Structure 1
Amino acid sequence: MATDTISSSGQDMFDEMTERIDTAVMSGKIPEEIKAKHKGFHEWNQEITSKNHQPIVQILIDGKDQNAVDNDGNVLPTLVYMAREKRPQHHHNFKAGAMNALIRVSSVISNSPIIMNVDCDMYSNNNDAVRDALCFFLDEEMGHKIGFVQYPQNYNNLSKNDIYGNSLHVINEVEMGGMDSLGGPLYIGTGCFHRREILCGRKFTKDYQEDWNAGIKDKLQESIDETEEKAKSLAACTYEHGTQWGDEIGVKYGCAVEDVITGLAIHCRGWESVYNNPKKPAFMGVGPTTLAQTILQHKRWSEGNLSIFLSKYNVFLFGHGKTKLRHQMGYHIYGLWAPNSLATLYYVIIPSLALLKGTPLFPEITSPWIAPFVYVFCVKTMYSLYEALSSGDTLKGWWNGQRMWLVKRITSYLFGVLDNLRKLLGLSKMNFVVSPKVSDEDESKRYEQEIMEFGSSDPEYVIIGTITLLNLVCLLGGLSKVMKVGWNNIHLDALFPQLILCGMVVITSIPFYEAMFLRKDKGRIPFPVTLASIGFVMLALLPAIV
């Protein structure tokens, strides 16, 4: 469960087996001596691929083997390799399908009452995390109510000032902790300890008591071969047909953020969750190191959360009478991420075009009616600054976060809205895109220097380039009018709020202007993207100059 409990020999065994399987899949050939030595290969042939193969379960380390010890002489826990069956004609349900297969296979190997879920790109960083989680489950007063214990998602590769706003500090330190008093935080898919029974659909009852010894004696009587054969049948792609797996049992299917919807179902069955955020992070992982990776990750998150909002699992409907209203509102912070893109697009386009044309959209700066706008702007800015600094961000990190606030809303969240509309219209189906976390040497060097990475002609960059150039042109055009006709004749009082708004967009967009016109490295915005952005800006300016 924790990386420091596995010896170098055990890790080597696992790595060697993984390498053998990957090599076999790529080459389609398995030497006879390897087939004879490793029973997991005896069914493999040249038709086997990563998307078309039978289930494989092999117990690499038997926890009952007293000879399997770590560097300190402690007996190692059971270590199992599992590859669930995959066939082209059967949908495998992405990560949720893998999780459910693991739940079933683990039930015949240990049947432990507690399941820990950690993503493949994360590792244990605090060996007290397991003990702390168990303390919550075993608490005499509240333990019987706890369905899962959630730890925050932390990254170990963030730049000093978090150039892409991936620290999740505000979510980890403020939002998730705030939900802890309302019924508990969301299940975020990693760094989480679940009760097996509850993850498999059990409803809360006041007299609930965990049977910590259930099934253990039976498992002690089985041989390794018997256990492996039984586990293989549970990892078959047809096992779930005609069952409630993926619906009432296990991790739910049909949503890109299967973790959130599964946690919601647990809360609606009456259970609470606990948020534990120790000073030493319990789990650490690898965060995105390029802008494209960040945009993709937030697109998947926002798209999935909006799909929940638009489905039968809408928290206000599905959770009505089952969870507190404030708890439901806490869920909707994330469910309404994507629609925020529409309001953001309005505020970064329409006021700027109106400024260029000399049309005021806000009350005059001397009017008392401007007070609500000034209040919202100032309070929002000061509070976000307070949240960031109190959560561990730097001042520059907060400013980078403001820039990424804009970027994510006009790209990731916008595409989240569009993809949901396509699904509602039947034009596309749900897919699960894994966020890549690997960068080449040049990209890594620019990331360490906190230089934003572009380097491709993605449509997201065209949107960013168009919005930033449009605001620059409108700001320069508005200022030129002021200088040309004078302060009094242009009604500066009425246009001043738009000047401020447009100016804020321009100031936060300085790295984008550099990437379009000044930088020469491979990570700059490609010239075709800049050219396309200029073309869209010219089209957008036509109504303003006519």
Structure 2
Amino acid sequence: SAIFNLREIDCYDDHERSLLLSQLSFEKTFGISSVFIESTLMENGGIPNSVDPSTLIREAIHVISCGYEEKTEWGKEIGWIYGSVTEDILTGFKMHCRGWRSIYCMPLRPAFKGSAPINLSDRLHQVLRWALGSVEIFLSRHCPLWYGFGARRLRWLQRLAYVNTIVYPFTSLPLVAYCILPAICLLTGKFIIPTLSNLASSLFLGLFLSIIATSAMELRWSGVSIEALWRNEQFWVIGGVSAHLFAVFQGFLKMLAGVDTNFTVTAKAADDTEFGELYMIKWTTVLIPPTTILIVNMVGVVAGFSDALNGGYEAWGPLFGKVFFAFWVIVHLYPFLKGLMGRQNRTPTIVVLWSVLLASVFSLVWVKIDPFVGPVDVAQSCISIDC
């Protein structure tokens, strides 16, 4: 039975005191249930033979109650670890830090099956939840960058894999910049990429070839087709400029300001209306950034061709380089555009309005500011036209 009066320990001898303190330690760790604690001490688990069925049912109801985990180590050091919406990553990381080893198991018959979200809004919200969980781990004390160095049970490649798992949402920040830069080039008439030297070109070419070689090795190892790889690349861009970007800001708001976010877990069971919501677009702010990027790049392409028509033959050469990058962004976001429009143009009006508004404001403000022109250039241009 549980000990409620700690002063009784002073009346016991050393052996009894050590037993009672050991029981207190087990109760603090696993909770106040003598049957459950006894089962954890059994070599192969199971149920103690001395427990009658009525006591077992009573103890089971007590253990599964909501308040059983309070003031115990459940959720902190044992069981599923709390503190992140991706508790599977956090739990696996702590297990590996304690010396557990994983084995790769991929049977011919799938061990688990579930239906993934099939419409755009639900899919992006699922990616947002995963990315937010990674940001939460990054901003917590369980960050793989520094957690578990004292025990030295986590191998360096394992730590590197976990670091990659938690930092990938932050790649959305440079990705958004890279997706907007082609439109900026077309709107301002400036080519942002400078002329590269031979050394810089060689380094860039080597990096590009290494990425291609890595992708080829992954294709060979996993048996994935080139089309599937390209679809995955497209969705990486779509999720990066939408769900991952929101996850970064929501993660910082949650950890610094205590603003919590509620998610609806994806249903894993399919029903009779399995494809009923395939073309359904639900209103969500996650749709605004990629829609805005699409509109800005399309406006930039139109502005670039208009400027080339007015500038004569010499303006067409630099235009193709700028348009290439803009089309590269549009091609990556094309599945998003296709899913956004749907079968019967069911895109929420608020998404289009906000996207058009943001794209228009960004284009007008950028052209007005023109940050690539310095004060000296402005003064010289004014002198040349007698202003």
**Pairwise same-fold verdict (TM > 0.5):** yes
Which of the residues 349, 357, 364 maps onto 1:535? 357
Closer, same or farther: CA 461–443 of 1 in aligned 2, 3 Å = farther
Q: TM-score, normalised by structure 2?
A: 0.75
Aligned-partner SS, 1:384? helix
Residue 272 of structure 1: how far off its partner (Å): 1.7
Which of the residues 267, 270, 281 maps onto 2:99? 270
The 5 A counterparts of 1:31-180 are: 108=36
Which of the residues 297, 301, 306 maps onto 1:475? 301
Aligned-partner SS, 2:146? helix
2:282 equivalent in structure 1: 456
1:303 equivalent in structure 2: 132
Residue 514 of structure 1: how far off its partner (Å): 4.5
Residue 249 (str. 1) matches residue 78 (str. 2): yes
Contact preservation (8 Å) 1:256, 1:301: yes
2:230 equivalent in structure 1: 399
Residue 378 of structure 1: how far off its partner (Å): 5.2
Residue 223 (str. 1) matches residue 49 (str. 2): no
Equivalents in 2 of 1:104, 1:480: separation in Å? 76
Residue 423 of structure 1: how far off its partner (Å): 1.5
Closer, same or farther: CA 377–530 of 1 in aligned 2, 3 Å = farther
Contact preservation (8 Å) 1:354, 1:544: no
Equivalents in 2 of 1:224, 1:456: separation in Å? 51
Closer, same or farther: CA 283–388 of 1 in aligned 2, 3 Å = same
Contact preservation (8 Å) 1:410, 1:463: yes
Closer, same or farther: CA 367–353 of 1 in aligned 2, 3 Å = farther
- Which structure has the bigger radius of gyration? 2
Closer, same or farther: CA 488–439 of 1 in aligned 2, 3 Å = farther
2:161 equivalent in structure 1: 330
The 5 A counterparts of 1:272-291 are: 272-291=101-120
1:182-212 CA deviation, whole Å, 9 max, x = no partner? Answer: xxxxxxxxxxxxxx88xxxxxxxxxxxxx74
Residue 104 of structure 1: how far off its partner (Å): 10
Closer, same or farther: CA 282–474 of 1 in aligned 2, 3 Å = same
Which structure features the higher share of strand residues?
1
Closer, same or farther: CA 443–342 of 1 in aligned 2, 3 Å = farther
1:363-388 CA deviation, whole Å, 9 max, x = no partner? Answer: 34796634444544454356436535
The 5 A counterparts of 1:515-530 are: 521=344, 524-530=346-352
Contact preservation (8 Å) 1:389, 1:398: no
AA aligned opposite 1:257:
T
Larger relative CO (CA 8 A, sep 6+): 1 or 2? 2
Aligned-partner SS, 1:499? helix
Residue 442 of structure 1: how far off its partner (Å): 7.5
How many residue pairs end up in the alignment? 337
Equivalents in 2 of 1:544, 1:420: separation in Å? 29
Residue 504 (str. 1) matches residue 333 (str. 2): no
Equivalents in 2 of 1:289, 1:350: separation in Å? 31
Moved more, 507-516 or 335-344: 507-516
Aligned-partner SS, 2:113? strand
Q: TM-score, normalised by structure 1?
A: 0.55
1:426 equivalent in structure 2: 257
Equivalents in 2 of 1:504, 1:280: separation in Å? 39
Which of the residues 192, 199, 214 maps onto 1:361? 192
Contact preservation (8 Å) 2:126, 2:266: yes
Give unmatched runs, 5+ long, in structure 2.
1-28, 369-387
Contact preservation (8 Å) 1:465, 1:530: yes
Closer, same or farther: CA 110–410 of 1 in aligned 2, 3 Å = farther
Contact preservation (8 Å) 2:120, 2:281: no
Closer, same or farther: CA 435–516 of 1 in aligned 2, 3 Å = closer
Residue 346 (str. 1) matches residue 177 (str. 2): yes
Aligned-partner SS, 1:348? helix
